Structure 1
Amino acid sequence: MKFRHAARFAAVFLALPLAGCLSMPHPFSDPGNTARSLAQRTPPPRLVVPVPAESLLSNQAAALWAREMAASLVEQTVPAMAQEPKPGDWVLRMTASLAGDHVIPHYAIVTPSGAERGHEDGAPTPAAAWSAGDPQAIHQAALMEGPRAAAMLTGIQAAMMQADPNSLMRRPARVYFDGVTGAPGDGDKALAQAFVTSFPDARDKLVPSRKDADYTVHCEVNVTPGPAGTSGHPQEHIELIWHTIAADGSEAGAAIQPHDIDAHSLDKSWGDVAAIAAEEAAGGVRQIISNYSGRNHKPLPDDKKVASAGKAG
């Protein structure tokens, strides 16, 4: 990488588990949409996939379909398990019907109270392969439908949020900022002041109490010896980690700003570097909150809803 400014502190904006690296002419300058994108960690409710009774499959093949479908959903970051439902579980109910020489799989998402909230038909599968319990045909059906079922669940959640006046679709997120620790020089204070100035907007506001917050943000700064550098300039590696913690204590995400700098170049005043770093981090924290809460998701389209879709489960 090349560094052109005296601060010699370009930033890479990361969001776990994604990573990227960009060379930028300004310290903490905007790295663009690709590096700024964040892992979507929106937590759906637990979804169980019971063995389907009306599947046109043998018991063994039906159990395989349930396992394959659960695995496909896990690949979409849905916490799905192939088992019989317990109280509080959402259920992916699967059936199949014959249409000529093909079998049509059907999928429905059912709330813990038993209300069906959305449904979808899968792609036709040759009836001969399906009735024979061909593992590859079953695997392919689950592989194709996993992303669509996950999207259906996301749309259902979005519809529920849209109907809830207390959801983050309907009000600003309340965020408690727990400060900055570990920065050299005046970094703890300078970064904190800059973040407090940069973060609030129409969709996110800072609150003075952790107990009233939807999310808590804390920045941890780590400085370690870096490469020897060139022309007699030793280096340090500095990393800013902006942890965003949900009200239940789980980590919604982390925006990470790492780089190598001239050793001790930030041991005194951070100056404009703090302002630019905090502004960039503020945008990252907002995106983490949006991704984790699902407030940007679109409700399920009308053609995927069922009659009870407007009722909370």
Structure 2
Amino acid sequence: MRMKNLILGLPLLLAACGTLPEPFYGNPGREGAILSIPPAPVLMVPAPTGALLGDDAAKLYAKDLAAQLADMDVPSIYGPAAKGDWQLVTTAKLAGNNVLPAYAVMGPNGKPYGQVQGAPVPAAAWADGTADALQDAAATDARPLSKLLANINARVQQSNPLSLENRPPRVFIGKVTGAPGDGDSALPLDLSRDLPSPDLELVTNAKQADFTVTGVVKATPSGQGQVTVELDWSVLDTNHRKIGQVTQLHVLAASDISPYWGDVAVAAATEAASGIQQVVINEKLKKKAS
């Protein structure tokens, strides 16, 4: 059996970690150290009432801001905040010929957990509430806001003993599809024996997992009774985003995998487990360093 193993890392600019809800990603800021309540899955962005904007412009700006944050993978929704929600409160003040927006992240207890100053906007454009001016302002301020929110989330993870930073990652093995013979059942069964390690815990409930591994098999006849088998193992985070992939290419006799995979599945799972473990550990280290 001839095997070639490729570990294809697929790093993401923004990624979640741990078992707590984690909407806030990016680089740390100053205010996160005071956070003691985990962020909720969604950040509400209500129309501001103290931002020197008319009602229509205030609604438009809140919608733009929520959309820009969502584009940065910060789950944000325009609308009023209910009791127990996290929300973004926007204010503004005049400074010469400019308006200076300011933002505060408010927790479920009504207390601020972080603040950031926005970029200056020409006062006339702000007061007019034109769509282009408001959209540009929202796009400019969304980036520092995402960094502030990332800091809040990072501090929660560091202080919570149940977060991914302070325990081994939990991995769930999902379905394998496309394999001839009994491969769809043999491969995940053998992987479940090889994947656990002192640095990685296997769980049988997907809801308990930090990462889920799924497999896709493609078998292509290559002549002379042989078949080229490609196994693609995808590692997904809790938001179902691919954070890594282990690809294996096997050139086998067709009889090696039909009707039973046998030793081929054992060898493939052992090899794949090493690559999957590395993808998961790399992701944990990346989060710890962020």
In structure 2, stretches of 5+ residues that fail to align are: 17-21, 24-40
Question: Considering only aligned residues, what root-mean-square deviation do their CA atoms show, in Å?
Answer: 3.5
Distance 1:126 1:224 in 2: 58
| Residue among 69, 72, 84 paired with 2:68 | 72
Distance 1:110 1:57 in 2: 21
Partner residue of 1:239?
Answer: 231
1:252·1:288 contact (CA, 8 Å) conserved in 2?
A: no
Superposition pairs for residues 208-287 of structure 1, below 5 Å?
A: 210=204, 214-215=208-209, 219-226=213-220, 229=222, 235-242=227-234, 251=240, 253=242, 255-258=244-247, 261-262=250-251, 264=253, 267=257, 268=261, 269-270=263-264, 273-287=268-282
Partner residue of 1:200?
Answer: 198
Distance 2:164 2:227 in 1: 43
Question: Which amino acid letter does the alignment assign opposite residue 231 of structure 2?
Answer: E
Q: Does 1:28 align with 2:17?
A: no
Question: Which amino acid letter does the alignment assign opposite residue 67 of structure 2?
Answer: A
Distance 2:251 2:116 in 1: 57
The superposition leaves residues 252-286 of structure 1 with CA deviations (integer Å, 9 ceiling, x where unpaired) of 75644446643546635337654332211112233
The superposition leaves residues 144-194 of structure 1 with CA deviations (integer Å, 9 ceiling, x where unpaired) of 11122122111112222333333333x213526558856667745554433
For residue 94 of structure 1, give the secondary structure of its aligned residue in structure 2. strand
**Which structure has more strand as a fraction of its residues?**
2
Distance 1:28 1:167 in 2: 31
Q: Does 1:296 align with 2:273?
A: no
Question: Which amino acid letter does the alignment assign opposite residue 37 of structure 1?
Answer: P
Partner residue of 1:304?
Answer: none
For residue 73 of structure 1, give the secondary structure of its aligned residue in structure 2. helix
TM-score between both structures, scaled by the size of structure 1: 0.68
2:7·2:245 contact (CA, 8 Å) conserved in 1?
A: no
Partner residue of 1:307?
Answer: none
Partner residue of 1:108?
Answer: 104
Structure 1 287/89 Cα, relative in aligned 2: closer, same or farther at 3 Å? farther
Structure 1 145/216 Cα, relative in aligned 2: closer, same or farther at 3 Å? closer
2:169·2:280 contact (CA, 8 Å) conserved in 1?
A: no
My pick for the range that moved more, 61-70 or 216-225, is 216-225
1:38 CA displacement: 4.3
Question: Which amino acid letter does the alignment assign opposite residue 170 of structure 2?
Answer: V
1:107·1:120 contact (CA, 8 Å) conserved in 2?
A: yes
Question: Which amino acid letter does the alignment assign opposite residue 5 of structure 2?
Answer: F
In structure 1, stretches of 5+ residues that fail to align are: 1-5, 10-26, 299-313
Question: Which amino acid letter does the alignment assign opposite residue 119 of structure 1?
Answer: Q
Structure 1 90/149 Cα, relative in aligned 2: closer, same or farther at 3 Å? same
Question: Which amino acid letter does the alignment assign opposite residue 262 of structure 1?
Answer: V
1:93·1:107 contact (CA, 8 Å) conserved in 2?
A: yes
| Residue among 95, 102, 106 paired with 1:99 | 95
For residue 145 of structure 1, give the secondary structure of its aligned residue in structure 2. helix
Distance 1:52 1:77 in 2: 22
1:66·1:82 contact (CA, 8 Å) conserved in 2?
A: yes
Report the count of equivalent residues. Answer: 257
1:96·1:105 contact (CA, 8 Å) conserved in 2?
A: yes
TM-score between both structures, scaled by the size of structure 2: 0.72
My pick for the range that moved more, 36-45 or 104-113, is 36-45
